[in-house]
Structure 1
Amino acid sequence: MPQMPKRVKFRKAQRGVVRGRTTRRKYNGPIKGNAHRGNYVAYGDFGLQSLEGGWLSAECIESARVTMTRFVSGEGRYYMRVFPHKPITSIPAETRMGKGKGEPEYWAAVVRSGQILFELGGVAESVAKDCLARVAYKMPFKCRFVTRRPNV
């Protein structure tokens, strides 16, 4: 079952605007800018880092979780670093203009480029590479395999 928040303050959220522009125009393209936090492997030994920004739906997160669970199967541990907090609304097809904003269709996580999406620990690097390659195939944007940096 896809993830979603238990309760929210507001049922519907705005889509977001382009950063760095003076006009407040709607923007439907990829999320601009790089991740300033959540951009390094913190919990596991290996991670999957996004190279593009966008919305990651709860269904994609759930399919990645199932893939990692089946692949690791008790040997190691996986960590999910993203959670879908944003409700995405839509109006049904062939509906006339007006009548307000649509109902929430699905939940999504806002992902910036450079953000770590998933982590793996307790497995060999070859196993982690194979597992995260399968997960990256299910993601809607480009991702790369990263390892934990040594603490200096």
Structure 2
Amino acid sequence: MSLALGNADLKQAGQSELARTLHFGLQSVDAGHVSATTIEACRIAANQYIRGTGAKLYIRIFPDKPVTARPLETRMGKGKGEPDHWVAVVKPGTVLFEIQGGTKDAAVDCFNRVSHKLPVKVRLVERRPGS
């Protein structure tokens, strides 16, 4: 069964690489939407964990797509609803967060904590030495 026309652009895999100077990243496996409040919750959880390690967290996604909603108990018609919240569209292969510095154990523990807050499946990626 083929994809519906409206979802075709969301499901296509993208390739996102780690930045040149960063060591560890959290890469999405599935497609989906990540809301602004979810990104903020992940940022707080990661910064609480890596606060004393000397590592730095970089957020590689931004919620730039508005999601509209109609008020409750409103009849049909009368136009489109107002923006309710903002989401970041995440494709498979998108690097969501990156950590510079710190040890691999600290990055694994930090990203394990962050991954439980995300609505998409993710995996840890690591920069190869020499690349």
Measured against the shorter chain, the TM-score band is 0.7 to 0.9
Call closer, same or farther: CA 1:64–1:101 in 2, change over 3 Å: same
TM, length-normalised to structure 2: 0.88
Aligned residue for 1:41?
A: 18
| Matched letter for residue 69 of structure 1 | N
Task: Quote the offset at 1:151 in angstroms.
Answer: 4.4
- The SS at the match of 2:10 is coil
- Alignment correspondent of 2:94: 115
Residue identity matched to 2:34: L
The C-alpha deviation readout for 1:19-44, integer Å capped at 9, x for no partner, is x87xxx544x99211113xx121142
Q: Which has the higher contact order (CA 8 A, sep 6+)?
A: 2
Give the unaligned 5+ runs of structure 2. Answer: none
CA distance in 1, matches of 2:24, 2:95: 10
- Percent identity of the aligned residues? 43
SS in 2 for 1:144: strand
Measure the CA separation in 2 of the matches of 1:87 and 1:124.
37
User: Bigger shift: 116-125 or 39-48?
Assistant: 39-48
Matches for 1:1-152 after TM superposition, within 5 Å = 26-27=6-7, 31-36=10-15, 39-42=16-19, 43-74=21-52, 75-151=54-130
- Point out the structure with the larger helix share: 2
TM-score normalized with structure 1 length: 0.76
Q: Deviations over 1:78-100 (max 9, x none)?
A: 10000011111011233211010
Give CA-to-partner distance per residue, 1:63-120, whole Å, 9 cap, x none: 0110111111042101000001111101123321101001100011111001000001
The structure that is strand-richer by fraction is 2
- Structure 1 gap segments, 5+ residues each: 1-19
User: 4+ residue runs of structure 1 moved beyond 2 angstroms?
Assistant: 149-152
